[in-house]
Structure 1
Amino acid sequence: MTVITTQPTATMRAERLTAHIGAQVTDVDLAQVAHDDNLFAELRALLIQHKVLFFRDQPISRADHVALARRFGELESHPVLGSDPDHPGLVRIYKDLDSDREAYENAFHCDATWRECPPFGSVLRCVEGPDVGGDTIWVDMVAAYNALPQDVKDRIADLRARHSIEASFGARLPIEQRHALHAKFPDAEHPVVRTHPDTGEKILFVNAFATHLTNFHNDANIRFGFDYAPGAGDLLQYLQRQAAVPEFQVRWRWTPDSFAIWDNRCTQHYAVQDYWPAVRRMERAGIVGDRPY
């Protein structure tokens, strides 16, 4: 357990949940963190260290939720999910009996890598959840990269991948709407291995939004005919499957007014959909990020 003193009369405690990723933080009021420079600096340092932070019993206002997220940077909206009309940037992820039970949550993904500058991270709150089920899994993609065989690291060092909203959120839309979504949000290309701007660590940076490797088809990797196609596809699938390795994961059971804050640059997550027909309502503030390198 790590204990960090925030001020003479209070402590912020962070207890590790796994060997690689995740800590539950106690003895802190997120509403205070939203308006206190010192508390926020310590919280941010814990986030960089643990990659995802968890909190329980935080009945803060939506305004404080937004203010806390804005501490990290400007907020971004989502082109498909609905936002709270009174709090721009606070995205509603509501699953109830009127929702389609099949959605795009149950795949390991890093939020919005179809953007040229994917989010820095998010602050997510459980408004209402099932009595059991509906957990979320986060994955340490630094640990996933570190565990790769050296020959794979060498092979992917300079590779890049295309990420698409059209092939994910847009796949269920009529063709005209899908093309319009693609026109507004063209595919983004990112390095398969990115560098964390705060820690310098290398991160395996392909997820469910990645459709193909863009610079694999070259003289070093192919001979003739369709030789390149299974090679590139198999390699990408192998890399994407690393997120499913339990040793890199932490799992969080939601309760009302619990929060998760995660670093989207070095993690993936998976919202487990095992609770139908129970209700699950979440609110997320996503933070604008930088261009991966």
Structure 2
Amino acid sequence: MIHSNAATRLKEVSTDPVTLDYHGFTVTRSTPTIGAEVGGIDLREPLDDATLTSLRQALVRHKVLFFRDQDITPAQHVQLARHFGELEVHPVFPHHPDHPELVLLGGNKDMRGRENIYHSDVSWREVPSMASMLRCVECPEAGGDTIWVDMARAYAALPEAVKERIDGLYAVHDIMPGFGARMTPVEREINRKKFPAVTHPVVRTHPEGGEKILYVNEGFVTHLANFGEKAQFRVGFDFRYGELDLLQYLFRQAAVPEYQVRLKWRPNTIAFWDNRSTQHYAVQDYFPAVRRMMRATIIGDKPF
């Protein structure tokens, strides 16, 4: 497992050159804020430790990396992702028959996909994911893009008064809003016991890059755990509506285009993103065409 603390801290707008050289590959920035396309690397081949370290540095720096024309097998996908940490087995999504660490994503001609909400993968876990690695198996010629959002930039741009207001607040993250409808009543009871709602700081610190990150998402956050301890109000509805208004304001930050990058998929495109500092949204504009994907998710660390 490769770790690095060499990532630079957040800047208002990147002044990096458009194309940067790393050990074993190049990256070309997609936007001034987030995203980069990786070139000069074949993920079917073994990668040395220096290249893996550079990939991790690039991930922390650019937050999502795009690789084109990477015709890797499911076994290679798992092996590649495992270089960056232990892989999770998702409790709800269907798995690859030979590799339970790979989830199979996508609807079919009779059922739409349902990932079109801004979210960070498995933030409902006590120890959420560090990163996800998604490969396109099949996609429509048009539509089905994915959007990623730089939530460190979203936090940095907040008004100072809002930063003061959310300092010390904790949000409750829950598996059920996103996945409860996919479960039978028995499965809901089992998973409720296995995955109780958890609290994470509204503003977390990136353990490698050091940035402050706005860590609430409308896919899994249900409420603020300690809003009443800090809020000032006259009567009860001030408290309740104040909490709802603040959460909705924070959720909306992910929808700001200036914090986003958008990827048009092609078969054998891979996106590798940092779940600690980003949210994403899978655009569902292609139904009844089919989009099939495989994803490996790397276990991270407890937010602080």
TM-score normalised by length of structure 2: 0.90
Distance 1:172 1:74 in 2: 26
- Residue 135 of structure 2 corresponds to 125
Q: Which runs of 5+ in 1 are unaligned?
A: none
Structure 2 gap ranges (5+): 1-17
* Aligned equivalents of 2:55, 2:236: Cα separation in 1: 53
**Residue identity in the other structure for 2:178:** S
Identify the residue that residue 14 of structure 2 maps to in structure 1.
none
1:22 to 14, 17, 35: 35
- 8 Å contact from structure 2 (residues 106, 113) kept in 1: no
Deviations 1:123-163 (A, max 9, x none): 11000000100000000000000110000000001000101
Is the Cα–Cα contact under 8 Å of residues 129 and 276 in structure 2 kept in the other structure? yes
2:85 equivalent to 1:68: no
CA RMSD of aligned residues (A): 1.5
The answer to whether the 8 Å contact 2:35/2:65 transfers is: yes
The structure 2 residue matched to 1:249, chosen from 260, 263, 271, is: 260
Residue 280 (1) aligns with residue 276 (2)? no
Alignment of 1:167-206 (within 5 A): 167-171=177-181, 173=183, 175-206=185-216
Q: Quick one: distance in 2 between partners of 1:220 and 1:245?
A: 27
Judged with a 3 Å threshold, the aligned counterparts in structure 2 of structure 1 residues 219 and 236 are, in CA distance, closer, same or farther, namely closer
Q: Which residue of 2 aligns with 1:115?
A: 125
Aligned to 1:239: 250
Deviations 1:240-279 (A, max 9, x none): 1100000000000000000000000000000000000111
Counterpart of 1:55 (choices 58, 61, 67) is 67
Q: Distance in 2 between matches of 1:36 and 1:63?
A: 18
Matched-pair identity in %: 57
Q: Look up the SS of the partner of 1:121 in the other structure.
A: strand
**Contact 2:139–2:265 (Cα < 8 Å) also in 1:** yes
- Per the TM alignment, residue 177 of structure 1 is displaced from its structure 2 partner at its CA by 3.7
Alignment of 1:32-111 (within 5 A): 32=45, 34-98=46-110, 100-101=111-112, 103=114, 105-111=115-121
Residue-by-residue CA offset, 1:90-120 (whole Å, 9 max, x unaligned): 111132224x2152x0100000111001100
1:249 & 1:93 partners in 2: Cα distance? 22
Write the deviation string for residues 49-73 of structure 1: whole angstroms up to 9, x where unpaired.
1000001100112111111100110
Q: Distance in 2 between matches of 1:138 and 1:190?
A: 21
User: 2:81 touches 2:133 (CA, 8 Å); kept in 1?
Assistant: yes
2:21 counterpart residue number? 4
